[in-house]
Every structure is written in structure tokens, then in C-alpha cells.
Amino acid sequence: MQKNWWKESVVYQIYPRSFFDSNGDGIGDIRGIIKKLDYLEKLGVDVIWLSPVYESPNDDNGYDISDYQKIMDEFGTMDDLDELIADIHARGMKIIMDLVVNHTSDEHEWFKQARKSKNNPYRDYYIWRPGKNGKEPNNWRSNFGGSAWEYDPVTDEYYLHLFSKKQPDLNWENPKLRKEIYKMMTWWLDKGIDGFRMDVINFISKAPGLPDGKVMPGEIYASGSQYYRNGPRIHEFLQEMHEQVLSKYDVMTVGEMPGVDVEEAKKYTNPERKELNMVFTFEHMSLDSGPYGKWDLKPLRLIDLKKNLTKWQNGLNGIGWNSLYWNNHDQPRIVSRFGDDKEYRVESAKMLATCLHMLQGTPYIYQGEEIGMTNICFDSIEDYRDIETLNFYREKVIEGNEDPEQVMESIYAKSRDNARTPFQWSDKPQAGFTTGKPWIKVNQNYNEINANQAIEDPNSIFHYYRKLIQLRKQYPIIIYGDYQLLLPEHEQVFAYLRTYKGQKLLVITNFSKENIPFTFPEDIPFYANELLISNYKIDGDNFQTFTLKPYEARVYLGI
């Protein structure tokens, strides 16, 4: 297997708005990140992924970009960003930035021009269609609710927006548009960044004719995703991007790809095809959702999680490369989701980290994950800021007359704002995030859960993450070893074996709050040499047979 720096790295995602506020305006900023680089260096991460800091009217918290080559005033200046890049590199770390090119803001100059007339030179940078029978051009639903089309009276046509109506989709069929994007990417790479995380990049190729989708019972609009996920020209576009831009730099690329399966991911990540290094899959993050999507709650079955992660581990092994994540700016906090954020918060956070970081792939840590930050339950919908959450509440409660308590239960579990509350630095007011009023309320458990407390406690989640990162640097088997699932039908224990150059690594994790008797399978030859890490103190247990405590994790090295 080919070795690469990005395979051997651990990535830390920063959501700038909520990381650290340096000037007291209640909004995290670039200078705030600069002030906290010592913390990230202490943690030991190799790559910082910076969520969007570009010029934006903030309809979708920066994922609606109005100028790709300017910095949002709230975050600082381009000089601040240049300083951040230099400081990160001076510490031996790298930085990747978000590439958001499925759509722009409707306040981008391209779109301002495009909506002026049908024959404007920028018109074809976006996707316009006349109405059909007095309605939208097709029946697609926006990912944020409602129609995916917005009527524009100036030219009597509709434009496509797979997300907010202030995020019009770009028309990748237009070679001039693609050339503009490649020029912009080159500008950023020449500035010194080390790669891109590509936002919903598998949405950029739409099916010809934009056919209607199938409307589910009780719904007004159809998903339409079969006609824009992994579309007919997606591989062509990414190969062109690689040829025109990425091939000229030693960079890391990861594509966010809702709806991608293993077979498609092999194409995206096979280095011989010259597309991307890795993709973010969503399958394992949908296992606690019912048939009606993310807000339709159901309990996680560990057997389903093991089956899914195993499919990806084995499917990409030797062909492409996996990204490994539990959390990001769009996902609720994992310790509240798959762990126990009350009685066993510390133990379950460590266990989940162990399970993920010992798999083959590049691990991603989302800010606050390393100190065990939890979901938020705001008192009122008025306290939420996320456009997807607010649209869901409006559709279900205000327009649909559904039970607000039931809707709020879904929001408590799955709202993107769970990940977006300010980072909890200390037990000072506003968790030490700001001296002003934060843009979104701070989780009130910051007195118990904060970075200062975690750093001072040698047994904290923070120091456990440090150890996991150190182990990856020490043992190549953790990065490059093959994977084998053990006990596939066990409903509480996730155990697997890694093998590499005569070494073996045994990972055992208990996903329950019960004591679980564990006997290592006799048909798997394994002789333990060393216990690499455990989230409990081990007192002379027999290696072959022992009792796993609630949310316990153990990693053994052997032959």
C-alpha cells in the first residue's frame, strides 16, 4: 500500500464562529484561532480543517459564499488568515479549507449578473428553467425543506437551489464556470493551503433534463437526489479538476458525499483514477434515522454499525482510503448520540474515540469532541440558529400543526446546532469563549466540561485523545493494517483485529452500560504482548477471559 502524509495524519475541524472570540463581539474569529494554536499543538493533531471564513451574508453560516477570495469581516482579514497559515506551518502542521462549489450565495457577483437578463454572460453560470404549468420546473425538494426552485420575476424563470433559496446551484456543464473555479482553487493553493474539504461535491453533476422524482406519501415534493447525487459527469469533472489543479500540488482532498456507496467511493478514491484522496460517507451517520430521514428517530443497533463500518473498511482496503469521523459541524455530538452523556460521559467518549481511531483511515476530530462536549437542549426554538432546524420546525409545527414537544425531541437529538454551541474553554462566564454576548447560547454544562479542566486532569478525555494520536505515530499497523471484524452478531461489543507485517492489533469496545463477560475467540490465533491503551485501569486481568466494564475499550498489540 502506498504511504502518504494524509493517511498518517489526524485532522481537527474548526468551526470558526464557535471556536474562540478574540475581540468580544460574540463571534469566533481567525485571531481567536491563532491564540489557541498552542492548545491544538498540545493535542497533537497534524492538519487543521477550517470551515468557511469567506465573504458571506451568512444565510447558512458561511456555506453561502459571496466572494471566494475575501474574508468575512466578522472573522478578520486576509492578513489574519495569512498569519494563521504561517503559524500553522511553523508548528509543523497543515491547513485545509472548505471548497464550496456546488452553489454560491445569491449575493455573489456572478449571480447578481446572472439574474439581470437571459442573455447576460453569467446567466449560464447557474441553472435556470421556465416554469411548468404555472409551477416549478420539477418537483424536487430542497435539502433544507420546501421546493428546490425559486421564482425570479426579473426574467420570469426559476433557478435551482438544492439548499437555501439564497444558495443558487452552479452550472458545472459550463466550461467557463469550471475554469473560474479552477483558477480560484489555484489561487488558494498558491497562498499556501494544503488541500480542500469539498462540500457536497458529488452534487455538482445533474441528470440531463432534471427529471421529476417520486413523491413519498404525505409529502409535497420529491427528494430528486437520484438525479443529482453521483451524477453522470461527476467523475469527469473531478478528473478535470485533478488535472487542472490538484495534480500540481502535494495536497489532501476529501469530498463530502451524501448518498455515496462503497462501489462509487472506490472510483472517487482509487489513486489510479486521479480524483480525490478520500470521501465522507454518511451511511453510518444514518443508522439512527428512520425511513423518513434524519428527524425520524430510532435507536442505534450496534450490529448495524459494525456491519456498515466493516463494509467500508474491507471495501476500500488496498484500493482507496477511508475518512473516519463521528462528529462534524452538521452532526450532533457523538457522546450524546452513541454514548452516554450523563453517568458514563467520560468512559463512553473514550470508548468511541478508541473504536474510531484504531480503524484504517484518516481520523477527524471535531472541536470539543476531545473534551466530551454534549448536545444542547435549548428552552425555546427561538434560541436555535440553524436554518435547517428552523425550517423543519416551521414546516412541522407552524404549517403542519404537529406536536411541538415531539418535534423538539427530534431537534434535541439531531439539530446541527448541537455541534455549533461555543467551545467550552473554561468555567468563566460564557465558557471563556467570549467577553461579549455569544452568537448562539453556550451549553450550561461548561462548569464541568471545559478545556482547562481537561488539560489539568491526567485521566481526562483530552489526554486520552493525545494518547490515541501518539499511538498512530508510533505503530504503522494502526494506519496501514488490514481489518477483520470479530463477534459480528454480538449486540454490545464491537471487536476487531488489525494485521500488518506479522503484527496484530486487537481492539475491544463495549457500547453498553452493562458489564459484559468477554472471551477471546479460540479460532483467532492472537498472543498479546502489550496493552496499548485502556479507558479503565486494568488490574491483572487474564487476557483471554475478562469482564468488560460499561463503555470499556481496550487495545492489545500482539502476534
Nearest Cα neighbor of 464 from 45, 48, 43 is 43
CB of 252 within 8 A of CB of 47?
yes
Query: DSSP states of 4-35 as a string?
Result: -TTTS--EEEE-GGGT--SSSSSS--HHHHHH
Helices (H) and strands (E) in the chain, counts: 15, 22
Q: Note the maximum CA span of the chain.
A: 78
Residues 6+ apart with CB under 8 A from 37: 87, 88, 91
Main-chain dihedrals φ then ψ at residue 390, nearest 5 degrees: -65, -40
Catalytic entry in 106, 199, 288, 388: 199
- DSSP-derived 3-state class of residue 376: coil
At CA 254, angle to CA 248 and CA 257, rounded to 5? 130
Burial class of residue 501, CB neighbours in 10 A (0-12, 13-18, 19+): exposed
Task: Classify 455 in phi/psi space as left (phi over 0), alpha (psi -120 to 50) or beta.
Answer: alpha
Q: Show the beta-strand stretches assigned E in 361-407.
A: 362-366
| 21 given a catalytic annotation | no
Dihedral angle, C-alpha 185, 190, 194, 197, nearest 10 °: -10
Tell me which residue of 335, 341, 345 sits closest to 366, measured CA to CA. 335
Q: How far apart are the first and last CA of the chain?
A: 21
- 38 is annotated as an active-site residue: no
Residue of 194, 256, 330, 386 marked catalytic: 256
Residue 141 · residue 223 · CB < 8 Å: yes
Q: For 330-488, where are the alpha helices, taking DSSP H only?
A: 334-337, 345-357, 387-393, 404-414, 451-456, 461-474, 476-480
Nearest residue to 510 via CA among 542, 528, 540, 536: 536
Residues 286-303, buried b or exposed e (16+ Cβ, 10 A)?
Answer: ebbbeeeebbeeeeeebe
What the block records as the C-alpha cell of 350 is 473514550
Which residues are catalytically annotated?
199, 256
